[in-house]
Structures are given as structure tokens and as C-alpha cells.
Amino acid sequence: MEGASETAEGRTWNRQTTQEVTDLFNDRIRRSLDDLAAVTGEAEDVRREEDFARGTACLTFQDVSFSLRSKLRQQEPKRSISFRTISGDGTKQILAPISGHYEPGNLVALMGPSGSGKTTILDILAGKKAPTKGTVHVNGRPRDYLWNRIAAYVPQDDSMFAHLTVEEVMRFHADLKMARPSRVTPAMARKQMEKTLQVFGLSEVRSSFVGDPALGARGISGGQRRRLSVARTIACGARIMFCDEPTSGLSATDAEQLMRYMRLLSHKYSVLIITSIHQPRREVARLFDELILLTSNPGRAVYQGPLDRLTGFMAEVIGHPIPVQVNPTDFCMDLITPGTKSARDQDFIKYYDEKQQEIINARVEEELWKERQTTIEILQAVREPMRVFGELPPLRHSKYGVSFWQQLKVVAYRQIRLRRRDKMHFLGDLIGAVAKAVIFILAFYEIGKKEAPLQSGYFFFVLMACSIDQVKTMPKVISERTIMKMETSEALYSEWAYIIPFTIMSLAQAIITHAVFMALMWPFLSYPASLFKYVWFWSLMVNIVMDSLYLMLSGIAKDATAAQVMSLPFLIIFMLYNGFTVTSVTCPKWLLWAIKISPVAYAMQAITVAASEICVPDGPSCGQDGLFPAIVAHFGYNLRPREVQTREALMVMCIISLLFRAIHVVSLKFLNNIRR
Ligand SMILES: Nc1ncnc2c1ncn2[C@@H]1O[C@H](COP(=O)(O)OP(=O)(O)OP(=O)(O)O)[C@@H](O)[C@H]1O
């Protein structure tokens, strides 16, 4: 198919039979694997596939730097601070200005000692972190809203849902990033995914759960998680990829296989891949085309250029020829790591500042003026060869690869699956509801036959139990949030596609478990059935409002401990000013607002008033002592007509709940972003 006219071929191919399309597709898959076997790191080891190497993107960055406001200045004596890292205005330089230009079809290694700013520069180039100064351009233009459609990022930590299989993780990403041509059947897509899994050595574990050692959920190994993290990103078909230490935790053989595939990808399809890596062995190092060497204190570039020129550079410029039997990257790292016995970082810096920087700056200036494809043109070009396999949906002018409905469908389906799989989550809730019901039955058995004041105590404790019921969900919601943040920062889906199904499902779960609690407990209380709807409804309302509170805090807080601490003032106000222990009669006037916003107070009032009407001396067993009217008066529940009270209670509870949920949405969108 190489070299043919795209439109002519496109028309011809579209007239092909389904069998021919399938054969073509399978042939491509097979050839990819054959090509991988040929990757050696020699020049021309990989042949560029012209048809599928369209839509190319180069990356240019100019004087990119990153600094932080430093607290060290106030804490440490001035002499102990390196003059190079803390400037006069108290900022700490993490990354000194660096410029560069990288062409498509290159595999670029980013190396440097720990803390030299490799992650920082990757984050800046990938658009995860704003630089303090400097600009990043793609094809000579600032990155636009379509950036995440052509770029992908593999972070250092592999945050994934424990209860998804390897295959499902892969499919989730592909379904949200790639539009599938009409004649590519699910079976064909699966075959392609299997190829990727095979390349990454994951075929054997394709049906295994990812797992999470922190949660005690068994799953694939750490190295397999790392490979999956890279594989799912690669499967998204990005034109520029950033990988933060993709080989960490991998065996030498696995690391080599991974980097060989990256070389294949970059050379065959003209993808630009920039990856940080810690001292690769010789066989891996030779797979890279370009090298960016950084040193630390502060992080700064000391060499930028082709990797195969490193040996000459070391001998001629630095005056340290690389011994034949020594790994060149190990040798370099020893020299550029400040503070070591063999450190020659100052020689590197001197040469870089005096000679190399000027050449790089001139190149960057020149490249920025060249006319290249816009992002939308890149996306159009990438689609063209795909027409071989059928029609594609219209190109979306959006940062997301698929429509909102498709995002919603894929994300909701995953959430349903996770809830179904994470049996302990739902079952735990159900068991909790049953246990709570048993405790209440033991404590309040036939409470309906007892004195009215004791019955008020029962109402109060039901509401208390419903108030703190959902507090346990916060740690889980926060850990899910981290994954969601990671995924939305990659523009896999919008926050709404996560929030809508999440809200519906957590609400449904709360309603079901609350109903179980109430239904189990009620028959043992000797209350008339007519009171059930009031106790059930108002305690459910309290449950829902408090659930919104915990969700809001889970969106705002940095971690679960912070969320629990932040919940205390709310719990004190809502649960102390509850119209029972503190009533509108006993409360100081200036604190009446606390009762006015407490959902527990409204629910307590509504249930007691309903009980006073149902539980009368001549009526059902409850309230035979005739004390309910006195209790209603004592707590000041009779100050306004019941309809007004009900309307006000519903309004306040709905407003508070909506307010909390709105803050939850805003915080999910804007707070706790990944690496900003
Ligand atoms: N937001 C931040 N707040 C505080 N310190 C930061 C921040 N970002 C970066 N740093 C500091 O900047 C330095 C460089 O960090 P970075 O993670 O980029 O280094 P690295 O080369 O990737 O390190 P490693 O190889 O250990 O992953 C480190 O000392 C780090 O603590």
C-alpha cells in the first residue's frame, strides 16, 4: 500500500469485500510484529510506513524554566544554601532555562541524576505543569485545545482501578481516544489489542485483575502494571508521547523489549517520543536517537544532541573518552552528577553555555518560523489512511476524541462494572445496614410502646446514624478521584462523564442500603405502619444531605485524613444544633442560624410532629401517654404550621445538598489537579 495516492486508493479499498479488509488489517498486525523483531538500534533498521506516518508533530520549546517560592530562605542560614538554586527574591530554581527542537520520528532520552528536573521538564512539555517562564510550541504554534488529541503522557505512578482486567484497561483507553472505522469489527479491534498485549508481554495476564497492593487486592506484578501503563497510552495513537521512566521496575529484558517497541513506533509511524530513563544498559541506550542530559542543583541541560555523537563529544570536548568496555550512559552519569568523586559537571556546563546553547537557540528561532501542519490538519492526516478500513465519524473539533454520550457510556459502564466487581464495597454497605438494624433493634425493641420522650431519643439516634453513615466512603472516593484526575488531565473524558454516573450510582446505593436498614428494623419497633414513611423519608433526606457533604469534602481535601478533619465543624453544627439536644427554645439567638441550616434539626422536627399526629392516646400503641404534644411544644416545633415547616425543611435540605454537590463538581474540576 506504500506510495499510492490516498484518495484513489481510499476509493478502491472502500469497494473491497469485508474479507479483503479483514485480511489487510490482519496483515498490518502481523507485519508490525515482524518489524519489531528487526529493531536493532542500527541506522535504517525500521522502515517508515509512509501511509500511516502522516500527521506529524514536532516540538519546540524556548527558554522553559521552572522555579518555586522557597521557604528555605527563612529557615536556613544563608551560607548553607547554594547560590545557584536560591535567588535574591527567595525563589528556588528547579529547572534553569532550556530550549530545544525535536522532530517527529525520533526517540529522545532524557537522562540526569535524581532530582535534576526530568519529571519537571516532561510535565511542562506535556502541558501538565505551567513553566515559570518560556514557551512550548507544536509545529511552530502554541499548544491549543486539541493538544491532548495528538499527545499522550505516561506518568511515573501507575494509578489504575484494581478491579479491572488488563484487557479492560486497554479497551477503556482505546474506546475514548480512537474512532473505529466502520469496517473494523470488534473482533478485529480485539486482535489488534492482543498484538499490543503480546508485544508488551501481557497476553498471559490479559484476563487478570490489575489489583492494588495498597488495598490488598491481588493482581498483576509491579512490572506488568508499568508495562500496562505504557501499553494503554501507546494504544491511543498519539503523535507525541512523553513517558516518565517507563522502564522503572522492569527487568533488563523487559526494558529492552519496551524500548525496542518505542523505537519501532517512533520510526515507523513518525511519532516523537520523549522519555526519561535511568541509566539504560548499552543495548537499550543505542535504541535512542537523541539525548538530553541534565545535571542537578539546579536542574539544567548539559548536553543535547544525537546519542551516537556522545562518544565523540566526551573524548573531544570533555576530554574523557568513554572506555570501550564501559556503558556510555553510566560513564556520563558519573561525570554529570555533582558532588561525586568523578564529577565534571562544570566542564559540561561551561561547554553547553558557551557553545551548544547558542546553536540550539538559533535552531529554535529558525524552526519556529517554518510552516507546518496545524493540530486539526494533523488529526485529519492521521485519519486518512484509516479510511482503508471503512468510514469514520466526522472529525471532532474538541479536546475529546469521542462525543460526550460516548464518554458517558464508557465511563458509566466501567463504574457499573467496578461496583459489581468490588463486592466488598456494596456488600460491605449492605452488611453495615443489617448490623446497624440489629443494634437498633436490640437498643429500641418495641420502643413504640414506651414513653414518648424515649421515642424522641430513638428518632434522634436514627438521624445520627444516618448522618455519619457515608463518612466511610471518603477514602475510597478520594482514591478514585486521583485516577479520575489523571484520566481527565489526559482529556480521556470530561469531569461530567464521571460525575453524572458516579452521583446516580452512589445515590442509588445510599437509598438501597438505607431502605434495608429501615425495613429490617421497623417490624421490631411496634410502630404503626403510617409513621414509617415519615421516619424513612426524613432520615433518607438526612442521609442524602450528609452524603453530599462528604462528597464535597472528598473533592476539596488533599487526602482522606484532611477530609475527616474538615468534616468535624460541619458535623458539630449539623449534629449538635439538631432541635433535640439544642433546640430553638434553648439556643442563644445569635446561634439560631445553626439550627436553621441543620438537616438533622429539620428531620427531627418533621418526624416528631408526624408522630404527635399519628401516635395519639386513642390511636395506635405509640404515644399512649399523650406526651407528644407536650414534646412538640417543649422543643418549639409548634411555632409554625406543619405545611410551612415541611416546605421549609425540603427547601433547605435540597439547597444545602445541591450547594455541596455543586462545590464537589467545582472542586473536582479545579482542585487537586495532577502535578500543577
Ligand atoms: N511542585 C514542587 N514542589 C516542591 N518541589 C518540587 C516541585 N516540583 C519539583 N520539585 C523539586 O524539584 C526537583 C526536581 O524534581 P523532578 O521530579 O523533576 O526530578 P527528577 O529528575 O524527575 O527526579 P527522579 O529521577 O528522582 O524522579 C526535586 O528536588 C523536587 O523535589
* Distance separating alpha carbons of residues 454 and 446, to the nearest angstrom: 11
CA distances from 258 to 96, 156, 224 (A): 31, 15, 12
Mutation test residue for ligand 1: of 91, 94, 125, 279, the one with most atoms within 8 Å of CB:
94
Ligand 1 pocket member 119 (CB < 6 A): yes
Atom number in ligand 1 closest to CA 117:
18
The set of residues, in sequence order, having a beta carbon less than 8 Å from that of 153 and lying 6+ positions away, is 122, 126, 128, 233, 241, 242, 243, 244, 489, 490
Residue labelled with grid coordinates 494504544: 235
Q: Which long-range contacts (CB under 8 A, 24 or more apart) does 565-571 make?
A: 567/471, 567/474, 571/467, 571/468
Position 385 scores a pLDDT of 81
* Distance separating alpha carbons of residues 104 and 268, to the nearest angstrom: 11
Closest CA to 464 of 498, 489, 428, 439: 439
CA distances from 409 to 183, 482, 501 (A): 22, 21, 9
Ligand 1 centre and the CA of 119: distance in Å?
7
* Distance separating alpha carbons of residues 118 and 246, to the nearest angstrom: 13
Asked if residue 664 lies in contact with residue 554, where contact means CB atoms within 8 angstroms, the answer is: yes
Cell of residue 114, nine digits: 535524581
CA 98 centroid distance within chain: 29
Q: Which residue's CA is the closest to the ligand 1 atom numbered 30?
A: 115
Ligand 1 pocket member 315 (CB < 6 A): no
ipTM confidence score = 0.96
User: Residue 433 carries which side chain, given as an amino acid letter?
Assistant: A
Ligand 1 centre and the CA of 70: distance in Å?
14
User: Residue 427 carries which side chain, given as an amino acid letter?
Assistant: L
DSSP type of residue 315: I
Backbone φ and ψ of 192, nearest 5°: -65, -40
Cell of residue 501, nine digits: 454516573
Position 70 scores a pLDDT of 65
Locate the domains of the chain by residue range: 50-389, 404-670
- Coil/strand/helix, residue 99: strand
Helix 529-556 and helix 560-576, axial crossing angle in degrees, nearest 10: 140
> Which residues are paired to 292 by β-bridges?
110, 304
Helix 18-37 and helix 252-269, axial crossing angle in degrees, nearest 10: 130
In a 13 Å sphere around the CA of 673, the CA atoms on its Cβ side amount to 16
Ligand 1 centre and the CA of 115: distance in Å?
5
Q: Which residue's CA is the closest to the ligand 1 atom numbered 26?
A: 114
Ligand 1 pocket member 375 (CB < 6 A): no
DSSP type of residue 107: E
* Distance separating alpha carbons of residues 229 and 170, to the nearest angstrom: 9
Cell of residue 131, nine digits: 513553566
pLDDT along the chain (676 residues), means of 10: 40 62 76 78 84 86 90 46 53 92 96 93 94 95 94 90 93 88 85 87 92 80 90 88 92 90 91 93 92 91 90 83 83 86 85 91 94 93 83 89 94 92 80 94 92 90 91 87 90 92 90 94 92 95 94 92 92 85 83 90 93 81 78 82 90 95 90 65
DSSP type of residue 593: H
Ligand 1 centre and the CA of 334: distance in Å?
20
Ligand 1 pocket member 275 (CB < 6 A): no
> Which residues are paired to 243 by β-bridges?
154, 275
Cis peptide before 569 (omega within 30 of 0): no
What are the DSSP calls for 137-206, one per residue?
EETTEE--TTHHHHEEEE-SS----TTSBHHHHHHHHHHHH-PPPTT--HHHHHHHHHHHHHHTT-GGGT
Ligand 1 pocket member 113 (CB < 6 A): no
User: Residue 170 carries which side chain, given as an amino acid letter?
Assistant: M
Ligand 1 pocket member 299 (CB < 6 A): yes
User: Residue 668 carries which side chain, given as an amino acid letter?
Assistant: L
Position 88 scores a pLDDT of 58
Closest CA to 100 of 68, 65, 128: 65
What are the DSSP calls for 251-289, one per residue?
-HHHHHHHHHHHHHHHHHHT-EEEEE-SS--HHHHTT-S
Write out pLDDT tens, residues 255-307: 998 999 899 989 988 999 999 998 888 889 999 999 999 998 889 999 999 98
Asked if residue 297 lies in contact with residue 114, where contact means CB atoms within 8 angstroms, the answer is: no
Element (H, E) at 241: strand 240-244
Asked if residue 128 lies in contact with residue 153, where contact means CB atoms within 8 angstroms, the answer is: yes
Ligand 1 centre and the CA of 120: distance in Å?
6
* Distance separating alpha carbons of residues 592 and 145, to the nearest angstrom: 49
Closest CA to 433 of 504, 511, 508: 511
* Distance separating alpha carbons of residues 627 and 453, to the nearest angstrom: 8
Ligand 1 centre and the CA of 627: distance in Å?
68
The set of residues, in sequence order, having a beta carbon less than 8 Å from that of 515 and lying 6+ positions away, is 536
Ligand 1 pocket member 431 (CB < 6 A): no
* Distance separating alpha carbons of residues 351 and 356, to the nearest angstrom: 7
Asked if residue 334 lies in contact with residue 342, where contact means CB atoms within 8 angstroms, the answer is: yes
* Distance separating alpha carbons of residues 152 and 240, to the nearest angstrom: 6
Asked if residue 145 lies in contact with residue 133, where contact means CB atoms within 8 angstroms, the answer is: no
Ligand 1 centre and the CA of 80: distance in Å?
20
Cell of residue 263, nine digits: 523505537
Atom number in ligand 1 closest to CA 94:
12
CATH topology classification for 50-389: Rossmann fold (3.40.50)
* Distance separating alpha carbons of residues 306 and 359, to the nearest angstrom: 14
Q: Which residue's CA is the closest to the ligand 1 atom numbered 11?
A: 94
Ligand 1 pocket member 116 (CB < 6 A): yes
Asked if residue 446 lies in contact with residue 525, where contact means CB atoms within 8 angstroms, the answer is: yes
Ligand 1 pocket member 118 (CB < 6 A): yes
141-142 and 133-138 strand pairing: antiparallel
Asked if residue 202 lies in contact with residue 224, where contact means CB atoms within 8 angstroms, the answer is: yes
Closest CA to 605 of 459, 433, 399: 459
From the CB of residue 368, how many other CB atoms can be counted at a distance below 10 Å?
15
Cell of residue 122, nine digits: 516532561
Ligand 1 pocket member 68 (CB < 6 A): yes
In a 13 Å sphere around the CA of 473, the CA atoms on its Cβ side amount to 27
